[in-house]
Amino acid sequence: MRTRPLKRYFVTGLLIWVPLVITVWVISFLIGTLDGVLDLLPERYRPDAWLGTHIPGLGAIVVLAVILLTGMVTANYFGRQLLALWENLLARIPVVKSIYSSVKQVSDTLFSGQGEAFRKVLLVRYPHPDAWSLAFQTNVPAQVRAALGEDYVGVFIPTTPSPVNGFYFYVRKSETCDVSISVDLALKYIVSMGAVATPTREKAATYPGN
């Protein structure tokens, strides 16, 4: 009979420590990765050389400061002109042009707050007609829309538990279901493989024909 309380205590302890350990591990990994940016500098210019000691997290602070400073510089007219010159220079390099322009379009869509891409959660029939998968609505290129028609939408179906990978399809709007949940919550569902509890305030999905 005593094993049941011990088992309950053990499970309770796991529920406390597992999220904490994983959180610390992820933060440590991110800080360690950002600290590695300082290794790109010549050895004599690294903070470890002129401070005489290693300060964990200093690379992360430097990266965040550079990002903030870049945003401040490009927020004015002079900075925008420099940015335009830089992009024109990259546009003249054949291979770099294709990679940079594609990545920039994706980053502009995700971080600028403009457009509808990745702002709406849908349910689509995948991988077979009797199954539904969470998807994010994306933009449809003008050429594709002209070929398929206005009743098609672009969807990105992320994989579990890594949402950075997935599949990109064009499906009929009538064959999708609107889900009244946020993108953040949908990502939690995907990463946790559905283990995250559904908040009571979230609305039900709107299925075709309802």
Contact 144, 171 (CB under 8 A): no
When comparing pLDDT for 197 and 200, which is higher?
Answer: 197
d(CA 68, CA 90): 22
pLDDT tens digits for 121-143? Answer: 999 999 888 899 999 988 888 88
pLDDT reading at 158 higher than 60: yes
pLDDT band at 120 (very low <50, low <70, confident <90, very high): confident
Query: Is residue 141 in a domain?
Result: yes
Domain that holds residue 140: 121-191
DSSP codes joined into one string, 6-57? HHHHHHHHHHHHHHHHHHHHHHHHHHHHHHGGGGGS-GGGSHHHHHSS--TT
C-alpha to C-alpha distance for 179 and 80, rounded to whole angstroms: 39
- Residue 67 in any domain: the answer is no
Position 45, amino acid:
Y
- The string of pLDDT tens digits covering residues 16-70 is 888 888 888 888 888 888 888 777 777 777 777 777 777 778 888 888 888 888 8
In a domain, 140, yes or no: yes
In terms of Cα–Cα distance, which of 38, 89, 83, 42 is closest to 61? 38
Q: Is 159 within a domain?
A: yes
Amino acid letter for position 75: A
pTM metric for this prediction? 0.54
User: Considering its fold, how many domains does the chain have in total?
Assistant: 1
Quick: pLDDT tens for 84-94: 888 888 888 88
Domain membership flag for residue 151:
yes
